[in-house]
Amino acid sequence: MGQASWPVWTLGKLMTQLARKIREGDTRALSRLATGVENRDPQALETLRELAPATGHARIVGITGPPGAGKSTLVDALALELRKQGKTIAILAVDPTSRISGGAILGDRIRMQQHHADPGIFIRSMATRGTLGGLARATADLARLMDAAGRDYVIIETVGVGQDEIEIASVAQVTVVVLVPGMGDDVQAIKAGIMEIADIFVVNKSDHPGADRVELELHTEGFNCPILHTVATEGKGIPELAAALDSIPTGGAGASACQPAPDQSTDHHTSIDSIGAATGYPLGPEGWQAEAPAPPVCPPSIDHLGIAVHDLAASIAFYQSLGLAVTHRETVLTEKVDVAMLPAGDSRIELLAPTAPDSPIARFLEKRGPGLHHIALRVPDLNAAVSRLQASGARLLNEPRTGAGGHTYVFVHPASTGGVLLELIQENTK
Ligand code: CO
């Protein structure tokens, strides 16, 4: 009876049948394919490709935050609220640490399955499989699968706030960071990484003392995205959270709704600078573009490579020894960065050194050390490029802006580009 003895052509037919069943809402078929996708089974991945045209409907929500923030309870309450509204949900509970912790999240999910035997809520727990990069990829694939299966919401829940969770959460169109009162130093630890991907903050357990202080701290930091208060165990604030999920534009400009508000800055930061500060990347190359050689208009080409360095003079000397010459030097006050431009063929090397410890470049150096900081691509039509990126769900860090040289530019989050900050530039078309 084994399928293995069937001729090859029937296998193809079977997979098509599986895809059809999933489209029809068969949860057992969905579960089977999910396992195949998690195991990187080639036939399962082929079926996933087959289902690709059916994707694009679901709202993909990431929920993350430190252990003890009550995320599971919050997710359960949110799922029930969305069910009340007639929506279907898939929950992907991802635990990159399960190898160590023994997968407590699984126990939670078994509990929930028992409490709510509802085919409208599909729950999948994912533990560590191979590399963490692999886990993020598997999460993205499963999210697409749930989308293709017609789920209205795909909720990706991760257990911590480490780099792995950030990578996984970046699969989401809307990311909710759950905090709780009385976290003390934990808040500082979270700030180091997760803030840059947050679209909504939830202060859960907000009936506990200190909830207002958490909110105040977020405001002080300059984050101006929605901050909601919930008591998940009582369902308080959950309908508001459900509504907020729909209010965040997906994947578009301002991909993080939590960009610090410029008018709350106590110094002379521009809003561009503040985005840079939040991400550790400087933005806004106003000024130094003025002396750029006029590039050919199309197709897209590399305008420059931005390299973060500790010692500008030493780096310049190195590139000069290779025959490159500095054509432009500038100190960008708002970014607290010294810039040197060295043309190399049709593109340029942009050396960036901090002038102050709170420069975005200083933060970058501190976090990652010297090295490639961003890649800038010249595109013939920035608005067209932005539209395409938005359609594909890429995370843009700003609306297209015009620099002092008349060029327009936009930054794309590393989460969308393969891990490097990407600057898109359209030259002045006068
Ligand atoms: Co640049």
Domain with residue 188: its CATH number is: 3.40.50.300
Q: Convert 195-228 to b/e letters by CB count within 10 Å (16 or more is b).
A: bbbbbbbbbbbbeeebbeebbebbeebbbbbbbb
Structural domain contains residue 254: no
The verdict on 11 and 122 lying in the same domain is no
Is there a domain that residue 133 lies in?
A: yes
> Residue 236's beta-bridge partner residues?
231
* Residue 385 within any structural domain of the chain: yes
Per-residue model confidence (pLDDT) at position 349: 95
Taking a C-beta distance cutoff of 8 angstroms, is the pair 202, 215 a contact? Answer: no
Output the CA angle 312-341-293, nearest 5 degrees.
175
119, burial (CB in 10 Å: exposed 0-12, middle 13-18, buried 19+):
exposed
Q: How far is the CA of 306 from the centre of ligand 1 (A)?
A: 5
Q: Where are the beta strands (DSSP E) in 75-144?
A: 89-95, 121-127
| Count of structural domains, the chain | 3
Q: 179 with 300, same domain?
A: no
* pLDDT of 348: 92
- Position 373 in a domain: yes
- Do residue 353 and residue 406 come from a single domain? yes
225 Cα: distance to centroid of ligand 1 (angstroms): 27
Boundaries of domain holding 326: 270-426
* Same domain assignment for residues 282 and 413: yes
Residue 376 CA to ligand 1 center (angstroms) comes to 6
- Residues around the ion ligand 1 (C-beta < 5 A): 285, 306, 376
- Residue 329's pLDDT is 87
Question: Which residue from 171, 233, 172, 168 is spatially nearest to 207, judged by alpha carbons?
Answer: 233
Distance between Cα 419 and ligand 1 center (Å): 16
- 226 occurs within a structural domain: yes
Q: How many whole angstroms from 164 Cα to the centroid of ligand 1?
A: 27
With a cut of 70, list the residues of the chain below it in pLDDT: 1-15, 96-116, 127-134, 160-165, 169, 184-196, 250-299, 404-405, 429-430
Report angle CA 161, 162, 168 to the nearest 5 degrees: 85
Sheet with 408-412, strands from edge to edge, namely: 328-332, 337-344, 347-354, 301-308, 371-378, 421-426, 408-412, 401-402
Ligand 1 geometric centre to CA of 378 (Å): 11
Give yes or no: residues 418 and 400 share one domain. Answer: yes
Distance 193 CA to ligand 1 centre (A): 23
Q: Is 237 left (phi over 0), alpha (psi -120 to 50) or beta?
A: left
Q: Please tell me whether residues 29 and 164 are part of one structural domain.
A: no
pLDDT value of position 83: 93
How confident is the model at residue 363, as a pLDDT?
87
pTM: 0.57
Kindly state whether residue 252 falls inside one of the protein's structural domains: no
CA 369 – ligand 1 centroid, Å: 18
Cα(269)–Cα(3) distance, integer angstroms:
65
pLDDT of residue 422: 93
Centre of ligand 1 to C-alpha 428, Å, is: 16
Give residue 305 CA to ligand 1 midpoint distance, Å: 7
Closest CA to 338 of 329, 325, 347: 329
The whole-number pLDDT of residue 210 equals 86
Q: What is the residue-averaged pLDDT of the chain?
A: 77
